[in-house]
Homo-oligomer: A and B are copies of this chain.
Amino acid sequence: MSKINENYLKLGGNYLFAELKKRTEAFQKENPSADIIRLGIGDVTRPLSPAVIQAMHKAVDEMADPATFRGYGPEQGYDFLIRAIIEQEYRTRGVELDTDEVFVSDGSKCDVANIQEIFSAGCRVAICDPVYPVYLDSNVMAGRAVTFLPSTSANGFSPELPEQDVDLIYLCSPNNPTGTVLTRAGLERWVDYALRKNAVILFDSAYSSYIRDPELPGSIYEIPRAKEVAIEFKSFSKTAGFTGLRCAFTVVPKALGKLNAFWNRRQCTKFNGVAYVIQRAAEAVYSEQGRGETAEMIAYYMGNAAVIRAGLSKAGFEVYGGENAPYIWWKLPRGLDSMDFAAKLLKSCQVVGTPGVGFGACGEGYFRLTAFGSRARTEEAVARIMDMEI
């Protein structure tokens, strides 16, 4: 079997997450009456907004009529959506983009995983630790070694520049899992590094709509000259509850040289565009009604984040995130082992969260709670935690 891609054998299994799921299921089985509250998974729970639902019904009806039926669309996305994205996501931040710099896709996960294909097999990659596991796994599959950039409370979750030169840097801000956001100065430092070293920044900004502080950058292109060095990923998943609809977009500026044409060629060869009805749903997020409803949805989740932050802080814990992101990154007292703590939390108060070590070695000693539950259940979870002896 020499023909298989043996790099796959080097991947860490999803053992930890599978193990966690198994433990929760086993606990529920042993304790069938236990009322488990799940604040572990980063999935939304609020239904789609009325503006989105109306747009989808309309688009479905168009698909039923020969005069308005749509077959293959442009691989890059429909012009109506690309123009709405440029207008609402970028022009509002003072950033100008051409329509052939924006690529609509079926998810940021796909794009951040696939983007490495347009870079050489030998390029040197830096990834923050802890972080969303897809950056690492997609590079391991391609046979690349990776440098980790520790990101902990010791450096304010703003990692140091790599000691050895790298070609590709993955940054995620607002960050999953730490919920922290790179400041303008923090981002400027990275853009400056990339300009000096001829490196490319892969900027995952899927949670930018959760930023409340107007001083924090919501796009890397707010930083001067970032278009020369950065590719940016944004998503409708968390912004508008599209995790079950699948729509996102990636910006590859033409100032990056051949990379714009390479990504276009990659998408045209290996992807066939997002469903028309889904793109109409995404367009509706930017309508006046859609913007209002989306803002309400985000405010709801950020209300949950505030409940968790306030509860844990009041109990004397060190907590990060949750102010400009839907994740709360809880620094466990006395350097507690995060896997052990997950088991204890489940047993003592039937609350599920995610052990920090699941996002990288530097996540050990931390614990992630998400703001995507319902308000009542989030309040109940916090009340239970505050009653628990930790």
Interface residues of A, Cβ cutoff 8 Å to B: 1-6, 8, 11, 14, 41, 43-48, 50, 53, 56-57, 60-61, 63-66, 69-73, 106-107, 109-110, 113-114, 117-121, 123, 134, 137-138, 141, 143, 167-168, 198, 200, 241, 243-246, 257-259, 262, 265-266, 268-278
Contacts and interface: CB of A to CB of B under 8 A. Distances in A.
A87 B303 CA distance: 46
A378 B293 CA distance: 47
A269 B69 contact: no
B53 A71 contact: no
Nearest to A73: B244
Given A6-B120, A47-B66, A244-B73, A109 B56 contact: no
A350 to B, nearest CB: 22
A66 B45 CA distance: 7
B243 A8 contact: no
Contacts of A57: 57, 60
B269 A134 contact: yes
Contact of A5 (B120, B273, B275): B120
Given A57-B60, A71-B241, A107-B272, 6 more contacts: A48-B63, A53-B64, A70-B244, A106-B272, A117-B141, A134-B270
Contacts of A73: 244
